[in-house]
Amino acid sequence: MATTSITSRDFVNAIAVEVATKIDVAVESWMAEVEQALNDPALTTLGRMNAAKEVLEQYKHLTGKEQLQSRKVLAA
């Protein structure tokens, strides 16, 4: 009977890969919603902007964020 030994490092790496994958899926999902809003031929230019803004507002509501930080702020 073969036994497999998993190190703490292997475990942490597996968790990190899983988290990174889920983040990528979530970001792509939100970006797809924005892209769909901006490319909807049934909407006017203003309607497309408003639809994209609605996606942003939905994200803020679901995450409990009132204001998003820019990458400059996050990098500091």
Q: pLDDT grade, residue 76 (50/70/90)?
A: low
At 2 the three-state DSSP class reads coil
pTM of the model: 0.71
DSSP state string for 39-61: T-TTS-HHHHHHHHHHHHHHHHH
* Separation of alpha carbons 51 and 35, rounded Å: 10
* Separation of alpha carbons 41 and 9, rounded Å: 50
- Residue 1 maps to a domain: no
- Residue 4 maps to a domain: no
What is the domain count for the chain?
Answer: 1
Average pLDDT in the chain = 91
Nearest to 36 by CA among 24, 51, 23, 46: 51
Domain residues for the domain of 31 are 9-75
